[in-house]
A = this chain, B = another copy of it.
Amino acid sequence: MSAAPAAEPDSDARSFDRWLREALARIEAFLAERLPGEQAEPVDLHRGMRYAVLDGGKRVRPLLAYAAGELVGAPTAVVDHAAAAVELIHAYSLVHDDLPCMDDDVLRRGKPTVHVAFGEATAMLVGDALQAQAFGLLADAARAGARPEAIVRMLAELACAAGSLGMAGGQAIDLASVGRRIDRDTLQRMHERKTGAMLKASVLMGADCGRPLSADERQALVVYADAVGLAFQIVDDILDVEADSGTLGKTAGKDAQHDKPTYVSLLGLDQSKELAQSLRRQAHSALAGFGVGAGRLGALADMIVLRKS
């Protein structure tokens, strides 16, 4: 998790794999430690929170936060809080999204969804409590040495990305679009909010933990995050068609089943794949000004576009 030394090209992949494993182990341990224990009252709620968050998920958002933090020399112990906060927001959104009144899904990360395992009422409270804890983790970052100014900046970014002009708003647009013919602009606007906003917040909050960014550097990270965010969603749509439920760990083919507009339904499979590749190139170009230090973010863009689940 230390800043990357200039690496030989042929060792890049190996070094990234090792970084990835370390980062995944780190966020898992941090989340397991910070979520209330299963013995703490109310037991059902805390068991549900841990069930929703631990032992599953690709942790894309924490990885983006760690990589962005490294780019600006942020102390990893501070970035932990940003990384965990964005993951808890993501986890809560999945719990609520799976509820019967939303997507009514029974399988997530290869396990029964939270409301199947714990009941609907507890699932709703699990989501509510995870959102509160996400914000609480930002306050806790002070104890790891985060400056109050950095915490306030992260707070503003997280609240905006999670709220009605971000993720929750994207889900409302999604709800309203089921069974309707929407155009590519509307689809993009929906995804910019539904997934893009939180992916962007992950990058920017990671960066908030380190040295101040110039306006140009910040803008470059925004361009990178926007490209990665959109590519992420397009690949999601492609995998929903091409992969099976076992590989995905969630119900495959559910977009078509729910008559949801997707990139694949709008552009077709080939053009969707081309668009994802083009966004990957855009993400790399945006990082050019940072030099070799941005290698992790570049490798994450590749990982997101080339993933199989």
Contacts and interface: CB of A to CB of B under 8 A. Distances in A.
A164 B42 contact: yes
Nearest to A157: B139
Interface string A45-65: 110010000000000000000
19 contacts: A36-B165, A40-B164, A42-B172, A101-B120, A122-B172, A125-B171, A127-B128, A128-B131, A128-B162, A132-B163, A133-B163, A133-B164, A136-B155, A136-B163, A139-B153, A139-B155, A139-B156, A148-B148, A155-B155
Nearest to A171: B125
Given A122-B172, A172-B44, A135 B135 contact: yes
Contacts of A187: none
Contacts of A284: none
A36 B164 contact: yes
Contacts of A128: 92-93, 96, 127-128, 131, 162, 168
A192 to B, nearest CB: 12
A133 to B, nearest CB: 5
A185 to B, nearest CB: 12
Interface in A132-191: 132-133, 135-136, 138-140, 142, 147-149, 151-153, 155-156, 158-160, 162-166, 168-169, 171-173, 175-176
Nearest to A186: B41
Given A121-B101, A124-B99, A124-B102, A140 B169 contact: no
Given A45-B172, A125-B168, 14 more contacts: A40-B164, A40-B165, A42-B164, A42-B172, A45-B168, A93-B128, A99-B101, A132-B162, A133-B163, A136-B156, A139-B152, A147-B148, A148-B149, A155-B155
A129 interface: yes
Interface string A206-249: 00000000000000000000000000000000000000000000
Nearest to A92: B128
A25 B159 CA distance: 26
A102 B140 CA distance: 31
Nearest to A138: B155
Interface in A24-78: 36, 40-42, 44-46, 49
Contacts of A120: 101
A171 B41 CA distance: 12
A149 B160 CA distance: 20
Contacts of A153: 139
Contact of A152 (B152, B171, B175): B152
Nearest to A115: B101
